[in-house]
Homo-oligomer: A and B are copies of this chain.
Amino acid sequence: MKKLINAVDDVLAQSLDGFAAAHADIVTLGEERKFVRRRQVKPGKVALISGGGSGHEPLHAGFVGFGMLDAACPGQVFTSPTPDQMMAAAEAVDGGAGTLYIVKNYEGDVMNFAMAAEMASGPVESLILDDDVAVENSTWTTGRRGVAGTLIVEKIVGAAAERGDDLASLKALGARVNSHTRSMGVALTSCTVPAAGKPTFSLGEDEMEMGVGIHGEPGRRRVKLASADAIAEEMLGAIVGDLSLTSATEVLLFVNGFGGTPLMELYLMQDRARKWLDGKGIKVARSLTGSYVTSLDMAGCSLTLSVLDEQAKALWDAPVHTPALRWGM
């Protein structure tokens, strides 16, 4: 295992300390590093709190700040945070208008956030995100995973919270954006969890994992390494089919790197995805390219499409000032 770290047990703490020090103008770190919160809490605003296992940086702490989250709770690497973290965060950023938990659909996350919600004093709602089309959907299983689409929900709901929307409206908005957002990923190499010390899975020199999850979970199938065009086609085909997109729809196209893939390849995928969507008459009205929802050092990427109406577009464009996303201010 080759990583820029000291001891395996210090990785999370030292990384959080560096993050908090580097962005001290925007965030502060809670006691015992239970959460990262905004410096400024706005009275009367619904508090948006997310969190999840670490190893997906900049998700979620990188999205704490004006126009997005109020706090983020970092769990151990790939492990949901514990309820005391969410409770401490909720107390710290309470604006008197209730709390919305934004939770990726993994049972660990769902259960830990649920326990925190049960123990909370004020009004709490939870929004469960499940944008990964690689997993077959069904009501009697765990369902789909929450992956890169999370960023889009956090941005759009964050902008709505900033303008003063109430708890019920924010939950409804988030659910709608989630239902209009789909992602699929591909891994070219495995990630290595620091504490495990060796790769989570192994791929041959000519193989890729299509439909991989953001924890290096196996995907739909292991196949021969394909061209960027073939990869884009398979992923977008699944997404467009699942969203039942018709031509002339406007979408946000998000090309997300998993941590080990450089920007050059991500922009190439942005190009190939656009060309494919063009061919279907689907209009890319907004886009984002970069490694925002990562899986440690895994090489690969995910593509996400989110259907945009005028409201979603305006909320996406609204000013945001966080460590990882910043525009309009």
Interface residues of A (CB under 8 A from B): 2-7, 11, 14-19, 21-22, 54-55, 57-58, 62, 188-189, 205, 208, 225, 227-229, 231, 255, 259-272, 274, 284, 287, 289, 291, 294, 296-297, 299-301, 326-329
How many copies make up the complex?
2
- By a CB distance below 8 angstroms, the chain B residues around A227 are 5-7
Residue of B nearest to A191 (CB): B262
Would you mind naming 19 contact pairs between A and B with Cβ atoms under 8 Å apart? Answer: A2-B205, A2-B208, A4-B231, A4-B261, A4-B266, A5-B227, A18-B255, A18-B268, A18-B269, A18-B270, A21-B274, A21-B287, A57-B267, A62-B263, A259-B263, A260-B299, A262-B291, A263-B291, A328-B329
Minimum C-beta distance from A6 to chain B (A): 5
Q: Which of B3, B14, B262 is A296 in contact with, Cβ under 8 Å? A: B262
Cross-interface CB contact of A262 among B2, B21, B259, cutoff 8 Å: B259
Residue in B closest to A56 when the chains form the complex, CB atoms:
B264
A18 touches B289 (CB 8 A): yes
CA distance A328 to B260 in the complex (A): 30
| Closest Cβ–Cβ distance, residue A28 to chain B (whole Å) | 15
Nearest Cβ on chain B to A61's Cβ, whole angstroms: 9
Contact partner, A22, options B4, B21, B267, Cβ 8 Å? B267
Q: Do residues A188 and B268 form an inter-chain contact, with CB atoms below 8 A? A: no
User: Separation in Å of the A260 CB from the closest CB of chain B?
Assistant: 5
What distance in Å separates the Cβ of A21 from its nearest Cβ neighbour in chain B? 6
A4-B263 contact given A21-B274, A274-B18, A287-B22, CB 8 Å threshold: no
Is A262 a contact of B57 with CB atoms below 8 Å?
A: yes
- Given pairs A18-B268, A260-B299, 10 additional interface contacts (CB within 8 A): A4-B188, A4-B268, A4-B269, A14-B272, A19-B270, A21-B271, A57-B263, A259-B263, A264-B296, A291-B291
Among A4, A260, A296, which residue has the most Cβ atoms of chain B within 10 A? A4
A240 to chain B, nearest CB (A): 19
